[in-house]
Amino acid sequence: MSQREQILAALRRGESISPMDAWRRFRCYRLAARIADLRRDGWQIRSEIVVEPQRFARYKLEEVSL
């Protein structure tokens, strides 16, 4: 399974992912690039900026209300 597929599967399970999570779990050094790929494919992914002690983004799949 590719990094992109692994990240999407985790997001679809309701997990949020930070760059450190992506590195540890998927050996993905460029999480923002993989998120950009998923967004181009039409996935609605929310970014939350976290500042503790360094600034980074945490990503989560947007909930779709029907």
What pLDDT sits at residue 64? 64
Which residues of the chain have a pLDDT value below 70? 64-66
Q: What's the CA dihedral at 26, 31, 36, 37 to 10 degrees?
A: -20
In a domain, 66, yes or no: no
Give the count of domains, the chain.
1
| Closest to 16 (Cα-Cα) out of 55, 47, 51, 52 | 47
Is the overall model pTM greater than 0.95, yes or no?
Answer: no
Q: Could you list the residue range(s) of the whole structural domain that residue 31 is in? A: 3-61
